[in-house]
Amino acid sequence: MPVILLITAVIGSIYTGIATATEAASLGVVGALILSYFQSSLTLETFKSSLLGATKTSCMIAFILAGSTFLSLAMGFTGLPRNLAVWIQNMNLSPYLLILVLMIFYIILGMFLDGISAVVLTMAIIEPMIRQAGFDMIWFGIFLVIVVEMAQITPPVGFNLFVLQGMANKDMGYIAKSAFPLFLLMIFAVILVVIFPEIALWLPEQMVQNLN
């Protein structure tokens, strides 16, 4: 129950606008320290071990991001992502076929780029296509977040797979097999969001109504 309350407090502080994502992360750290103190699991040794583990993980992610940034610059220089987006635009697809092709496009792109780079390099071409197809831009933003995050666990070279490999100390084959069911679940989530767009739009609509 305390752990569930901590998760609720962290996520709730973001959704209610009390805290930014970074501030909510700090809240989570403080809450975890308080919980571990009352559960008598917080000692100087465990605290040192936690700091060392966090430092190792942060450094590992920083190196992965550095390599990803270099690859993003190289691909941006070649113009490959943009040219692929233009190629999709010239196919003149129907709206739902366009969504299917874009999902495949971002999954493949996510094998080589981090999510932000994939979006930044292609959105100038993709955004007018989506508007012309008649899709709600808030819905497409939520769809894109799900697809891009799904691409980050796409075997064999998804960005987050390398992070998990470093944290779990397992070989990439084991990590990819373990992540594959989650990849299928995210595909199912995308299908639901496409068939029932009100799933993605319900919360934004409630927030707009409350503001009005």
Tracing tokens 């040219």 back to the chain, one arrives at 83
With CA atoms as reference, report the closest residue to 130 among 121, 141, 119: 141
Please state, in angstroms and rounded to a whole number, the distance separating the CA atoms of residues 135 and 133.
6
Q: How many CB atoms are closer than 10 A to CB 70?
A: 10
Residue found by looking up tokens 């009100």 in the block: 198
CB proximity list for 3: less than 8 A, separation 6 or greater: 35
* pLDDT the model gives residue 157: 65
Is residue 159 within 8 Å of 166, Cβ to Cβ? no
Per residue of the chain (212 residues), what is the pLDDT tens digit?
888 888 888 888 888 888 888 888 888 888 888 888 888 888 888 888 888 888 887 887 788 777 767 766 776 677 777 777 778 778 778 888 888 888 888 888 877 777 777 787 788 788 888 888 888 888 888 898 888 888 888 766 677 787 777 777 788 788 888 888 888 888 898 889 888 888 888 877 777 776 66
Distance of CA 176 to the CA centre of its chain: 17
Cα maximum dimension of the chain: 62
Residue with the two structure tokens 């497409």: 140
Predicted TM-score (pTM) of this structure: 0.65
